[in-house]
Amino acid sequence: MQLGFLVDLHLCMGCKGCEVACKVENEVPLSTWRLRVKYVDVGTFPETKRTFTPLRCNHCENAPCQRICPVSALHYLENGIVNIDKERCIGCAGCVMACPYGAIYIDPLTHTADKCTYCAHRVASSMMPACVVACPVQANIFGDLDNPTSNISKYIQKNQGNVQVRKPEKGTNPHHFYVNGGNVTLNPLASHRGEGHNLFNNITTLPIGGHH
């Protein structure tokens, strides 16, 4: 079994229900996110549209974070999930530096690395990840990539030619896919980041977590 995630960006409406559900389920502290939804505005008024891209750990088959972790705090589960053992983590932040998706952060309360685990604790009890349950439009599809009859496998097959991963050139083989994604939504260098446009600008100076 190799668990994977797929987000249909055509369906996602940026409600951030997944973000909130993840925060609650995993008790993610203030100023940190295991899952977040990025908004990118495209075009020039009045011809504009807003895109929404949920971003989380990609649970790569060839995970740089797992490779660089000096104490195996980041490790693979048999179902393909890249899990984290916070009791073992020494907080070297090598994984934060290695992850090409910016999916790992230092938890300001435990001073250890943390990230999305595809809700491994829920999966172990045969429950879906919290973000999947919360999504009102079923844009998040989760399942076994090894099973051709699973929802995710069928979705990938149905959308052949329109399934993307983030930064495929890194060779990480993500187990996280997007349907109807594009350069603007998936490539961080394809859009401007203007000062003052970001709702969260003011919290960048919170004196917790990492080095300031």
Partner 1 sequence: MAAHEILTATNAIVTLDVALPGTVWPWLVTVNMWAKSIGTGVIFMLFLLLKKYPDQAGKLRFPTTVVSIIFIHIFLLFTLADLHQPFRMWHIFFFPHVTSAITVGAWMATAFVGLLFLLAFLSFIKKDDAAFDKTLTWVVLLAIPVTLYTAGLMSQCTARELWQMPTESAQMILAALVAGSSFMILLSGSKLDYEAKKTLGVVLGLSAMMSFILYMSEYIFGPMKAEEVAAVLEYIKGDGPYTVMFWLGQWMTYLLPMLLIVLSRASKSENILKLAAVLALAGLWLVKHVWLMIPQLLPMS
Q: Which stretch binds partner 1 (CB under 8 A): 5-13, 83-91, 117-125, 147-155?
A: 83-91
Q: Which residue, 12 or 150, has its beta carbon nearer to partner 1?
A: 12
Is the Cβ of residue 143 or residue 181 nearer to partner 1 in the bound state?
181
Q: Is 29 in the site for partner 1 (CB under 8 A)?
A: no
172's tokens: 């990480």
Under the binding rule (CB under 8 A), the answer on residue 136 touching partner 1 is no
- Measured distance CA(10)–CA(53) in Å, rounded: 10
Determine, following the binding rule CB under 8 A, whether residue 191 of this chain makes contact with partner 1. Answer: yes
Piece of the chain touching partner 1 by CB under 8 A; list 1-9, 28-36, 126-134, 137-145:
28-36
Rounded distance, CA 179 to CA 160, Å?
Answer: 9
User: Of the listed pieces 76-84, 114-122, 145-153, 185-193, which binds partner 1 according to CB under 8 A?
Assistant: 185-193
Out of 1, 30, 102, 137, name the contact with partner 1 by CB under 8 A: 102
For residue 47, give the 3-state DSSP assignment.
strand
What b/e sequence results for 90-102 when a residue is b if at least 16 CB atoms lie within 10 Å of its CB, and e otherwise? eeebbbbebbbbe
Q: Who contacts 201 (Cβ-Cβ below 8 Å, separation ≥6)?
A: 195
Say whether residue 207 binds partner 1 (CB under 8 A).
Answer: no
Cα angle, residue 90 at apex, residues 87 and 94 outer, rounded to 5°: 125
Long-range Cβ pairs for the range 35-44 (8 Å, 24+)? 35/116, 35/131, 37/12, 38/185, 39/14, 40/184, 40/185, 40/191, 42/184
Which residue from 24, 30, 70, 127 is in contact with partner 1, where contact means CB under 8 A? Answer: 70
Contact between 55 and 43 (Cβ < 8 Å): no
Question: Does 99 help bind partner 1 (rule: CB under 8 A)?
Answer: yes
Nearer to partner 1, 117 or 166 (CB): 166
Contact residues toward partner 1 (CB under 8 A) are: 31, 33, 36-44, 50, 55, 64, 67-72, 88-94, 96-102, 105-106, 111-112, 170, 172, 184, 188-194, 197-201, 203-204, 209-212
